[in-house]
Homo-oligomer: A and B are copies of this chain.
Amino acid sequence: MNKKGINSDFSLEFYLKHKREFINQALLTILSKFDNKRELISAMKYSLMANGKRLRPVLCIASAKCIAKPDEKFDDSIILPACAIEMIHTYSLIHDDLPAMDDDDLRRGKPTLHKKFSEATAILTGDALLTHAFYILSKPSLFPFKSLPSDVLLNIIGTISDAAGTNGMIEGQMLDMKAELISYQEKKSNQNIEFVEDKSSLMYLKKMHTLKTGEMIKASVEAGAIAARADKNQLNNLSCYAQNIGMAFQIADDILDIEGDSSVMGKSVGSDTANKKLTFPQLIGLDKSKKYAEELISNALEALETFGKKALPLQKIANYIIERKH
């Protein structure tokens, strides 16, 4: 079968479905180590198994596949890092939804954790998921998956904790909170800012997204690459891919808030505009935003060229990011 033949055989839908099932099963295996009757465990399960896209763990697995030998079965040894990343992503959503932060009542069509349980339980469940992510990476022998060497695991913990921490996701959320404060003050002063191509705001927006979502998407791809023992050059190419899709993902989100179908998305659209949220369409317009996202995806695909057909899942994911309907 030639390269083209393999390409046309590949179904992203099937690939994502298959990987999601694998990830969901592994998450349930990890949770099954706990007594299900405890409120903390129910709350962890409620959030973790809430039908997420699993984009980050899928990226982690697809990235490892890109480096591993073609006949190497790598999914089993990358599953703990993939699950740890999903746990950290879930904790960040729980804390972001809290009344003191974004104060959201719904997440993935279900009541947010603090609405379903309580605010205290939501804070502690977020803390628990974050802590448990590092636990499963440091005690892999307790779980029925193939393990990785200590130095590789330590490197992965370092990569993930860096991206999730003070110089990554958490600072991104700090910037997001501040942006909302600015936006609130603008609303209070009754200025009607419809469309401003403001370079300093654009820089702020890019920085915020790079930190808030970009760093963890990059860490997901890097964790897979590190697990599969990527060399420096391979790691750089995959990081470049990840940085580009991370930003494109956010722009696509902003566009969906304007053009999306709320029945497909399972949430209301137009809320960014209503809340005068800092978005790409608001700052550079809808057309320019779309072009920018396409440019980023093109950069991402270029960074994958060196990997040949092994990068097919990552290529398809890149396209899916700007073509998705939710």
A131 and B161 contacting across the interface, CB-CB below 8 Å: yes
Partner of A165, one of B131, B157, B177: B131
Partner of A138, one of B95, B161, B166, B177: B161
The answer to the question of A302 belonging to the interface, with a C-beta cut-off of 8 Å to chain B, is no
A174 and B132 contacting across the interface, CB-CB below 8 Å: no
Chain B residues whose C-beta falls within 8 Å of the C-beta of A39 in the assembled complex:
174
The answer to the question of A185 belonging to the interface, with a C-beta cut-off of 8 Å to chain B, is no
Task: Pick from A64-72, A122-130, A201-209, A307-315 the stretch touching chain B.
Answer: A122-130
Residues of A in contact with B, size category: 35 or more
The answer to the question of A162 belonging to the interface, with a C-beta cut-off of 8 Å to chain B, is yes
A166 and B120 contacting across the interface, CB-CB below 8 Å: no
Tell me the minimal C-beta distance from A5 to chain B in angstroms. Answer: 43
This chain: copies in complex = 2
Tell me the minimal C-beta distance from A311 to chain B in angstroms. Answer: 28
Considering the chains assembled together, what is the distance between the CA atoms of A5 and B182 in angstroms?
66
The answer to the question of A104 belonging to the interface, with a C-beta cut-off of 8 Å to chain B, is no
B100 and A131 contacting across the interface, CB-CB below 8 Å: no
For chain A residues 192-208, which have a beta carbon within 8 Å of chain B? none
Considering the chains assembled together, what is the distance between the CA atoms of A173 and B40 in angstroms?
10
Contacts A38-B171, A40-B171, A161-B132 hold; do A98 and B127 have CB atoms under 8 A apart? no
Tell me the minimal C-beta distance from A150 to chain B in angstroms. Answer: 4
B127 and A130 contacting across the interface, CB-CB below 8 Å: yes
Tell me the minimal C-beta distance from A171 to chain B in angstroms. Answer: 6
B130 and A130 contacting across the interface, CB-CB below 8 Å: yes
B123 and A165 contacting across the interface, CB-CB below 8 Å: no
Chain B residues whose C-beta falls within 8 Å of the C-beta of A118 in the assembled complex:
100
The answer to the question of A79 belonging to the interface, with a C-beta cut-off of 8 Å to chain B, is no
The answer to the question of A29 belonging to the interface, with a C-beta cut-off of 8 Å to chain B, is no
Chain B residues whose C-beta falls within 8 Å of the C-beta of A91 in the assembled complex:
127
Convert A35-56 into 0s and 1s, putting 1 for each residue whose CB lies closer than 8 angstroms to a CB of B. 0001111001000000000000
Chain B residues whose C-beta falls within 8 Å of the C-beta of A174 in the assembled complex:
38-40, 121, 124
Tell me the minimal C-beta distance from A14 to chain B in angstroms. Answer: 34
Contacts A120-B101, A157-B138 hold; do A131 and B164 have CB atoms under 8 A apart? yes
For chain A residues 309-325, which have a beta carbon within 8 Å of chain B? none
The answer to the question of A151 belonging to the interface, with a C-beta cut-off of 8 Å to chain B, is yes
Convert A139-180 into 0s and 1s, putting 1 for each residue whose CB lies closer than 8 angstroms to a CB of B. 100000000001101110110011011110011011001000
17 contacts between A and B (CB under 8 A): A34-B166, A40-B166, A95-B123, A95-B127, A100-B123, A124-B173, A130-B130, A131-B165, A132-B165, A132-B166, A134-B134, A134-B161, A138-B154, A138-B155, A138-B157, A139-B162, A157-B157
